[in-house]
Amino acid sequence: MTEILTVLSKKKFINILPKLNRRHSTLLRVTFSSLILLCIIAASMLLSNDRIATNFDLKNLPPSMAHPFGTDWLGRDMFTRTIKGLSLSIYIGIIASLSSVIIALILGMGAATLGKAFDTFVTWLVDLFLGMPHLVALILIAFTVGGGAKGVIIGVACTHWTSLTRVIRAEVLQLRSAEFVQISRQMGKKPLWIAIHHILPHLVPQFFIGFVLLFPHAILHEASITFLGFGLSPHKPAIGVILSESMKYLSTGMWWLAFFPGLLLFVTVRAFDSIGENLRLLFDPHNAHE
């Protein structure tokens, strides 16, 4: 008996250690990534606009202490431009991914609760959007609504709700057949009441994970369609604008113009990606008890 107990406790001990480690490392990564993003936003508010005013005395300087990322052909400080561009991207990314998650939530819940016709319509819409290359759809939509930040936000929101809608629809369908939901119905609860009290709380993880996983997409798309010239106006300090301008000067040997903004964009996207992946691991019921 005691032997069994020690074997059991040993086994437990082995199981507990990696779990603690993973929880800790997950939390550490989430905190670290959030810190990077917060720093970028805070820095963009602190840096003054004077540093990105045209100043021909300072043009084409390589990286130095005063200008860590160098300056461009108009004498603007590239560090300030990059940080301001990134924080604009983060802001656009948050609005765009939030709207697309909300669209997914409404359509997914509607498809699973509002009856056959609406369900068929949503499924058709999802297939339609998944069927076409979404960068093309994104550019078309952004172009149609008139470009700019509004175009990017609407474009991303309209093209990125599809896969999450599928996930949410499947989840809601499964929840609807759960015994506790059926009991609620027999207790005379209205469909709307059931949707709010029983179904919605179960979709909170999908909501957050969907948001965080969509965010890097939104930023990259913002940068790419701005780079292609369909996004933000060239006067905005946007990361896509910076990158596309820098491409023209790359051949002149001013490598810092594209290198640092590109690197920072990559770090930001990775930061958010890792928050999303780690949250998914934390919330996933199959991993939660490991």
Partner 1 sequence: MQLEARNLSFRYGKGPLIINNLNLELKSGEILGLSGPSGCGKTTLAKILSGYELPQGGSVKIDGKSIPSKGFNPVQLIFQHPEKAVNPRWQMKKTLNEGWSPDNELLDSLGIEKAWLKRWPNELSGGELQRFCVAKALSPKTRFLIADEITTMLDAITQAQIWNVVLNKARENNIGVLVVSHDQHLINRLCDRVFIGK
Closer by beta carbon to partner 1, 56 or else 180: 180
Considering only 14, 65, 116, 188, the residue that binds partner 1 (CB under 8 A) is: 188
Q: Should residue 198 be labelled a site residue for partner 1 when binding is judged by CB under 8 A?
A: yes
Distance of closest approach, residue 221 Cβ to partner 1, in angstroms: 34
What distance lies between CA 191 and its chain's CA centroid? 32
Among 22, 29, 176, 202, binds partner 1 (CB under 8 A): 202
CA atoms within 13 A on the CB side of 7: 4
Q: What angle do CA 253, 242, 210 make, to 5 degrees?
A: 130
Nearer to partner 1, 81 or 198 (CB): 198
Say whether residue 13 binds partner 1 (CB under 8 A): no
Nearest CB to partner 1, comparing residues 133 and 188: 188
CB 281 within 8 A of CB 24: no
**E-state strands within the chain:** none
Would you call 190 helix, strand, or coil by DSSP? coil
Interface with partner 1 includes 287 (CB under 8 A)?
Answer: no
Nearest distance from C-beta of residue 208 to partner 1, angstroms: 15
The verdict on 288 binding partner 1 (CB under 8 A) reads: no
C-alpha span between 116 and 122 (Å, rounded): 10
Among 7, 170, 178, 250, binds partner 1 (CB under 8 A): 178
Task: Specify the residue, 13 or 180, whose C-beta has the smaller distance to partner 1.
Answer: 180
How many other CB atoms are there within 10 angstroms of residue 258's CB atom? Answer: 18
Contacting residue, 48, 50, 179, 251, with partner 1 by CB under 8 A: 179
Nearer Cβ to partner 1 (201/253) = 201
- Asked if 244 and 227 count as a contact pair (C-beta separation under 8 A), the reply is yes
Nearer to partner 1, 59 or 190 (CB): 190
Residue 188 CB, shortest distance to partner 1, in Å, is 4
Residue 6 CA: distances (Å) to CA of 14, 16, 19, 20, 141 = 12, 15, 20, 21, 64
The stretches of 114-147 forming alpha helices (DSSP H) are 116-131, 134-144
Q: Which two three-digit tokens encode residue 121?
A: 């319509």
Q: Is 116 in the site for partner 1 (CB under 8 A)?
A: no
In a 10 Å sphere around its CB, with 0-12 CB exposed, 13-18 middle and 19+ buried, how is residue 156 labelled? buried
For partner 1, give the closer residue by CB, 128 or 196: 196
Closest contact distance (angstroms) between CB of 202 and partner 1 is 6
Residues that bind partner 1 (CB under 8 A): 178-180, 182-184, 186-189, 198, 201-202
